Amino acid sequence: MADTDFTADPSRRAPYADALERHADGHPISLLVPGHGASADGISAGLAAFVGERPLQLDVTPLLDGIDLGAGSPRAQAEQLAAEAWGARRTWFLTNGSTQGNRTAAMAIGQLGGDILLQRSVHSSIVDGLVLSGMRPGFILPEIDYRNGAAHNVTPEAVREALATHDGDVKAVYIVSPSYFGAVADVPAIAEIVHAAGAALIVDGAWGPHFGFHPDLPESPLRQGADLSIMSTHKLTGSLTQSALLHLGDTALADTLEPVIERAFRMTSSTSESSLLIGSIDINRRDLQHGAEHIEASLAALSAFSERVREHGRFGLLVDTFDRFPSIVQSDPLRLPIDISSTGLDGHTVRIRLMREHNIWVEMATRTTIVPMVGLGKRPQLDPLLDALDRLADENAGSPGSIDDALRLPAPGALRMLPREAFLGDTELVSAAAAIGRISADSLAAYPPGIPNMLPGEEITAETVAFLQAIAHSAHGYVRGAIDAGLTRFRVVAQ
Residue 274: pLDDT band with limits 50, 70, 90: very high
Average pLDDT over residues 349-371: 94
The predicted pLDDT at position 70 comes to 84
Over residues 37-73, the pLDDT tens digits come to 999 999 999 999 999 999 999 999 999 999 998 889 9
Average pLDDT over residues 214-236: 98
Between 317 and 124, the more confident residue is 317
Between 399 and 325, the more confident residue is 325
Least confident residue range of 107-111, 386-390, 396-400: 396-400
The predicted pLDDT at position 7 comes to 56
d(CA 19, CA 65): 10
Between 5 and 413, the more confident residue is 413
Percent of the chain scored above 70 by pLDDT? 96
Class of domain 294-395: alpha beta
Nearest C-alpha neighbor of 376 from the set 245, 233, 240: 233
Residue 3 in this model has a pLDDT that exceeds 90: no
The predicted pLDDT at position 476 comes to 74
For the chain, give every domain's residue range.
13-58, 74-289, 294-395, 405-493
**Does 3.40.50.1100 match the CATH number of domain 405-493?**
no
pTM of the entire predicted model: 0.94
**Within 13 Å, how many C-alpha atoms sit on residue 457's CB side?**
19
The predicted pLDDT at position 341 comes to 93
Residue 223: pLDDT band with limits 50, 70, 90: very high
Residue 93 in this model has a pLDDT that exceeds 60: yes
The predicted pLDDT at position 399 comes to 54
d(CA 459, CA 429): 15
Percent of the chain scored above 90 by pLDDT? 88
Taking a C-beta distance cutoff of 8 angstroms, is the pair 461, 396 a contact?
Answer: no
* Strongest mean pLDDT among 6-10, 75-79, 470-474: 75-79
Average pLDDT over residues 461-466: 96
Average pLDDT over residues 366-370: 91
Average pLDDT over residues 422-432: 97
Residue 5 in this model has a pLDDT that exceeds 60: no
Residue 394 in this model has a pLDDT that exceeds 80: yes
Taking a C-beta distance cutoff of 8 angstroms, is the pair 328, 354 a contact?
Answer: no
Residue 406 in this model has a pLDDT that exceeds 60: no
Residue 474: pLDDT band with limits 50, 70, 90: confident
Residue 453 in this model has a pLDDT that exceeds 60: yes
Average pLDDT over residues 223-231: 98
Over residues 275-308, the pLDDT tens digits come to 999 999 999 999 999 999 999 999 999 999 999 9
The predicted pLDDT at position 408 comes to 72
What integer best gives the mean pLDDT of the chain?
94
The predicted pLDDT at position 407 comes to 60
Residue 312 in this model has a pLDDT that exceeds 70: yes
Nearest C-alpha neighbor of 173 from the set 152, 155, 153, 159: 159
The predicted pLDDT at position 149 comes to 86
Q: What is the 3-class SS of the chain, one letter each residue?
A: CCCCCCCCCHHHCCHHHHHHHHHHHCCCCCCCCCCCCCCCCHHHHHHHHHHCHHHHHHCCCCCCCCCCCCCCCHHHHHHHHHHHHHCCCEEEEECCHHHHHHHHHHHHHHCCCCEEEEECCCCHHHHHHHHHHCCEEEEECCCEECCCCEECCCCHHHHHHHHHHCCCCEEEEEEECCCCCCEECCHHHHHHHHHHCCCEEEEECCCCCCCCCCCCCCCCHHHCCCCEEEECHHHHCCCCCCCEEEEECCCCCHHHHHHHHHHHHHHHCCCCCCHHHHHHHHHHHHHHHCCHHHHHHHHHHHHHHHHHHHHHCCCEEHHHHHHHCCCCCEECCCECCEECHHHCCCHHHHHHHHHHHHCCCCCEECCCEEECECCCCCCCCCHHHHHHHHHHHHHCCCCCCCCCHHHCCCCCCCECCCHHHHHHCCEEEEEHHHHCCCEECCCEEEECCCEEEECCCEECCHHHHHHHHHHHCCCCCEEECCCCCCCCEEEEECC
Q: Provide the CATH number for the domain formed by 74-289 in this structure.
A: 3.40.640.10
Average pLDDT over residues 237-243: 97
